Amino acid sequence: MRRPSPTLLIGVLSLVAALAGTAVAGSDVQSSAVSKKKVKKIAKKQATKQINNLAPGLSVLNAENATNADQLDNLDSTDFRRSNELIGATDLGTIRERSAVSANIPPGVLGSADRQCGPGEQVLSGGNDFTGTDAAVVASRFDPPSGWKTFLQNTAGSGDATVTVRVYCLEP
């Protein structure tokens, strides 16, 4: 039998060294794996750092105890506060209903009518009433910049349908 050539010996030694090196590197990675507990600790530390940067003095020490979460300065959550005063209906201003018979819609026609708030007033809501035996409101919605608009379909064979649009406005 012939002796192995030096080239073959070098190749086999290189292969053994390469495989042994991979096995050693792999075992090191497993032993230094980051545990779930360590990941949580790092994440909490980073989150706390960000909170302190964005909102200094903010604390959530009692997050697990929310027995008084509906309280603010010992007031019930149904009370609203501005500065140190309760806000009541009189603080909001006067609400005015603006309405008028806005349109008479002929038979077989889809018509619309609108009503606007006064100068400087803000729309809060709106609605409508109508007369006519065969009529239906198709839409009733905010009509920019400060009004309410209603679309009424009169499906009657004869006779007008009358629509009254109402808009509720907050005075300045």
- The predicted-structure confidence for 13-45, as pLDDT tens digits, reads as follows 777 777 776 555 554 455 456 677 887 788 787
Q: Nearest CA to 128 among 108, 105, 155?
A: 105
Task: State the pLDDT at residue 22.
Answer: 56
Task: State the pLDDT at residue 74.
Answer: 60
C-alpha to C-alpha distance for 45 and 130, rounded to whole angstroms: 64
Task: State the pLDDT at residue 14.
Answer: 78
Q: Nearest CA to 127 among 153, 102, 148, 146?
A: 148
Contacts of 82 (CB under 8 A, 6+ apart): 91
pTM of the shown model: 0.48
Counting as low any pLDDT under 70, the low residues of the chain are 1, 21-34, 55-91
Question: Taking the domains of the chain in order of start, what are their residue ranges?
Answer: 93-170
